[in-house]
Amino acid sequence: MSILIKNGRVVTASESYIADLYTSGEKILAIGKDLDYEADRVIDATGMLVFPGGIDPHVHLDMPFMGTYSSDDYETGTRAALHGGTTTVIDFILQTQGDTLQNALNIWRKKSEGKAIGDYAYHMAVTDFNDDVAKEVVKMIENEGISSFKTFMAYKGALMIDDGQMIQLMKVVKKYGGLVTVHATNGDVIDALIAKNLAKGNRSPLYHYLSQPEVTEAEASARFSDMLYYTDCPGYIVHMTCEGALHAVRKATQRNQKVFAETCIQYLMLDASLYEKNFEGAKWVMSPPLREKKDQEALWSGINQGLIQTVGTDHCPFLWEQKKMGKDNFSKIPNGHPAIEHRMELLFSEGVHQGKISLPKYVEITSTNAAKIFGMYPQKGTLAIGSDADIVIFDPKKTHTISVNTHHMNCDYSAYEGQTVTGKTDTVILRGKVAIENETCKLEAGYGQFIKRGKTSKTVL
Ligand code: URP
Ligand code: ZN
Ligand code: ZN
């Protein structure tokens, strides 16, 4: 199968220009003016943007969490991602405390193989570190193409590791060419605030927010950065929400330290006033919680200052019935919201269309930086000769309104219901095959491939 895309504005992390792009098999073979190739398909992209397929570095598909499972599996989740222009996702494998990384990997392979429609990779969450796990970490990097290790500084008793384990993990990850990522919030302080609120009878979703003040994230982000500094390990803070946490990363730069940071689309678009809607606020119960307008401003600045490298979703959807597990107790509301489908369009509308970021910056934070940081570049994350033909043809002028009635995620509400956005995914190509056209998915379950990732380092950007 070959495709010739004519006259689109080709956008990469460094430039944008009008050109044709030719793909053959799974790869991009040529980019240039007036390309003269015979192709099975010719797509006229006049007036359209042509950019690399999105990479969402933070999703949770079919994940056991808080007594239930996230409601999108590999099929529904990667299909929804493709509809929105995300061609590759990085999901989290969770080690069960007391069990091996290998057993966890086997479980996630069963969830994904034969089911994924879009491409995917895994982060390995280390929830219980010891000498045996250290050997497995090496094996994951050397043999399995899993080079990023997720840690939790919260969710005590289920996922959290202590600082001693963190430092040991960092040492082995650094030695073998991996990266440690973190959910950086102070779990002990949060647990104490939750207990205090429940004891006072404060049980609504608003108290989820009030139990995780900004300082809990700022403190943990600074502590994590210090531990990275001490061990000289590359590190990445996931789902950064606030000014205080950003300051921790900024401060690290003053000692010539680079700590990578990700924010998520919801922290740029939504704010904590949504928790004042009584139980409806459960739709946005996630950790860390939504923050204030001043934090949104800080995060946009962080993006433009190069302190924040990626924008993910932390897609972790639950049906309304599942959210109701916390009807009388906010601490039982499964944490997470549906977003995998909307990241690219929301970020284009709010970022590029509103003039907050440039087009190359948009490509950088939606695909290129994730590919570089997580060892997939230049196979993924750019439009270049020899790269995978993962391509989004995007109409920058088309407006549409987000709704549960039209989204493709397995979730019976939309966290962005009624939001009108400017810019719409038109056609999506994944490894040389048309994946989305006329708002229809053309690929079957099983087309999605596991992407083995390479080693990484803190100087990759
Ligand atoms: O609320 C969230 N973020 N749910 C998913 C788990 C995590 O902490 O990323
Ligand atoms: Zn988290
Ligand atoms: Zn997450």
Helix (H) / strand (E) containing 25: none
Which residue owns the Cα nearest ligand 1 atom 1?
Answer: 286
Tell which residue, 400, 397, 438, has the closest CA to residue 46: 397
Q: What is the pLDDT of residue 279?
A: 98
User: How much distance in Å is there from the Cα of 12 to the middle of ligand 1?
Assistant: 30
E-strand ranges in 111-224 read: 119-125, 148-152, 179-183
User: Which architecture does CATH list for 53-373?
Assistant: Alpha-Beta Barrel (3.20)
Please indicate whether residue 336, judged by its CB atom, sits closer than 6 Å to ligand 1.
Answer: yes
Pocket test for ligand 1, best of 152, 156, 238, 239 (most atoms within 8 A of CB): 239
pLDDT at 447: 98
The enclosing H or E element of 99 equals: none
Alpha-carbon dihedral 351, 388, 234, 358, rounded to 10 degrees? -20
Q: Is 13 helix (H, G, I), strand (E, B) or coil?
A: coil
How high is the pLDDT of residue 47?
Answer: 98
Please report the pLDDT score of residue 69 as a whole number.
98
> Looking at residue 313, what DSSP letter applies?
-
Strands 86-94 and 49-52: unpaired
* C-alpha to C-alpha distance for 420 and 285, rounded to whole angstroms: 23
Task: Render 334-384 in DSSP notation, one character per residue.
Answer: PP-B--TTTHHHHHIIIIIITTSS-HHHHHIIIIIHHHHHTT-TTTSSS--
Q: For residue 381, give the amino acid letter.
A: G
Residues 6+ apart with CB under 8 A from 36: none
**Three-state SS for 70?**
coil
242 lines ligand 1 (CB under 6 A): no
CA–CA separation, 255 vs 120, rounded Å?
35
Instruction: Tell the residue nearest (CA) to atom 3 of ligand 1.
Output: 287
- Tell me if the bond preceding 205 is cis, omega within 30° of 0: no
Residues 6+ apart with CB under 8 A from 105: 93, 122, 124, 140, 144, 146
**What phi-psi label fits residue 66: left (phi over 0), alpha (psi between -120 and 50 degrees) or beta?**
left
Q: In this structure, are residues 362 and 396 in contact, taking their beta carbons and an 8 Å threshold?
A: no
Distance, CA 335 to ligand 2 centroid (Å)? 9
- Calculate how far, in angstroms, residue 333's C-alpha sits from the geometric centre of ligand 2: 15
pTM above 0.85, yes or no: yes
**393: nearest Cα among 339, 436, 347:** 436
Which residues neighbour ligand 3 (ion) by CB within 5 Å?
A: 314
Residues of the chain with pLDDT below 70 are none
- Residue 52 CA to ligand 1 centre (angstroms): 27
